[in-house]
């Protein structure tokens, strides 16, 4: 399912750091990730684990004083970290596009929906002819299944509902047929019924346009419905990557197991929900071993001293944990 020739995006050893006065904060440390054509990859993790930072690093929009300090990001063989700012601008929106969390603030309040869409399309497709532009705007609004697009193009963002605005955002992001769509928690600010609609829409669009999607979320339910593969992040690292069903059935990393356990099951009665004890380590301090060691029930001595490496524990199922990197025996403890 996942092995589909060459990857469209290939991240290797990506490290993004913030050089602050108090010291260096390592937001991402050695990210390796491949996204294949027509594939949806979910990035899951708790707040501050570097999900959004991965997205910003790909688009080279890490806010200062943050910086990509090591690693490579290849998009269709093109090394993004070495492009000039001008070349990078040509990539953003056209080849790689992004949808943000809160649709109510992602649109410029003083312009109509139509003019914002037309701006992006004329910018990237050099369409300057009024009628052609108008047709393209209407087409892309129809694509995201907005009712009465002729009216919507004349409306301002405050006249639309949250779900409509997110559809417009998706239209903006998809208006130039990007090969990769990054969706940063696209449904977090929406209510539950609209969430499902937006997710289905995204799923359909990715299928029909043949682009790939990187879906960032902290909601396992969202990725389960939408993604082919799941990538679990913790403290700026990827700890486990596997096909969605594979990961839900047999999670390997103790953190992934904890996450799945913490997910309440509908209909099950519980007085207390499961939690993962402890808190995220301080990213300002370099840790010699595994970042999860203090919260892990299966930790061993060498977890404190040597960082684990990514191993293919089962075909297509990668995990970064000493339990699987030879020597250690997988236990049920975690």
Q: Is the dihedral of CA 286, 58, 61, 160 positive or negative?
A: negative
Least Å distance, CB 92 to another protein, is 4
Residue length of the chain:
334
- Which C-beta is closer to another protein: that of 189 or that of 223? 189
Alpha-carbon distance of 43 to 308, in angstroms, equals 20
- Which residue in 9, 11, 62, 113 binds another protein (CB under 8 A)? 113
- Which residue in 32, 37, 46, 119 binds another protein (CB under 8 A)? 119
178-187 per-residue burial string, b: 16 or more CB within 10 A, e: under 16: bbbbbbbbbb
- Which C-beta is closer to another protein: that of 62 or that of 231? 62
Alpha-carbon distance of 54 to 233, in angstroms, equals 10
- Which residue in 27, 62, 137, 223 binds another protein (CB under 8 A)? 137
- Which C-beta is closer to another protein: that of 15 or that of 60? 60
- Which C-beta is closer to another protein: that of 110 or that of 273? 110
Task: For residue 130, state whether it binds another protein (rule: CB under 8 A).
Answer: yes
Segment lying near another protein (by CB under 8 A), choices 111-119, 251-259, 267-275, 291-299: 111-119
Tokens 């492009």 label which residue? 83
Which residues from 27-66 bind another protein, rule CB under 8 A? Answer: 59, 61, 64
User: Residues 158-197: x/- map of binding to another protein (CB under 8 A)?
Assistant: x----------x--xx------------------------
Task: For residue 105, state whether it binds another protein (rule: CB under 8 A).
Answer: yes
Q: Which residues bind another protein (CB under 8 A)?
A: 59, 61, 64, 89-94, 97-98, 100-102, 105-124, 126, 128, 130-131, 133-134, 137, 150, 153-154, 156, 158, 169, 172-173
């Amino acid at each position: 399912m996942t092995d589909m020739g060459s990857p469209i995006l290939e991240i290797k050893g990506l490290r993004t750091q913030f050089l602050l006065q108090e010291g260096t904060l390592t937001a991402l440390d050695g990210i390796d990730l491949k996204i294949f054509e027509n594939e949806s990859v979910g990035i899951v993790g708790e707040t501050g684990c570097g999900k959004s930072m991965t997205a910003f690093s790909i688009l080279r929009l890490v806010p200062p004083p943050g910086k990509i300090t090591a690693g490579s990001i290849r998009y269709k063989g093109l090394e993004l970290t070495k492009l000039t700012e001008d070349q990078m601008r040509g990539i953003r929106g056209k080849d790689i596009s992004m949808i943000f969390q809160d649709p109510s603030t992602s649109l410029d309040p003083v312009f109509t929906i139509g003019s914002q869409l037309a701006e992006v399309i004329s910018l990237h497709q050099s369409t300057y002819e009024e009628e052609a532009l108008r047709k393209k705007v209407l087409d892309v609004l129809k694509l995201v299944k907005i009712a009465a697009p002729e009216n919507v193009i004349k409306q301002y963002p405050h006249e639309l509902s949250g779900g409509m605005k997110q559809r417009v955002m998706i239209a903006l992001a998809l208006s130039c047929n990007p090969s990769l769509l990054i969706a940063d928690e696209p449904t977090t600010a929406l209510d539950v019924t609209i969430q499902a609609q937006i997710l289905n829409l995204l799923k359909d669009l990715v299928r029909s346009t043949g682009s790939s999607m990187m879906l960032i979320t902290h909601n396992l339910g969202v990725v389960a419905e939408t993604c082919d593969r799941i990538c679990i992040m913790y403290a700026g690292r990827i700890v486990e990557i596997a096909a969605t069903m594979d990961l839900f059935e047999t999670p390997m990393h103790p953190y992934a197991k904890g996450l799945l356990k913490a997910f309440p099951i509908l209909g099950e009665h519980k007085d207390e929900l499961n939690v993962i004890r402890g808190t995220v380590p301080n990213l300002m301090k370099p840790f010699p071993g595994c970042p999860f060691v203090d919260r892990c029930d299966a930790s061993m001595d060498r977890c404190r001293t040597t960082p684990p490496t990514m191993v293919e524990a089962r075909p297509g199922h990668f995990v970064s944990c000493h339990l699987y990197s030879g020597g250690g025996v997988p236990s049920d403890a975690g």
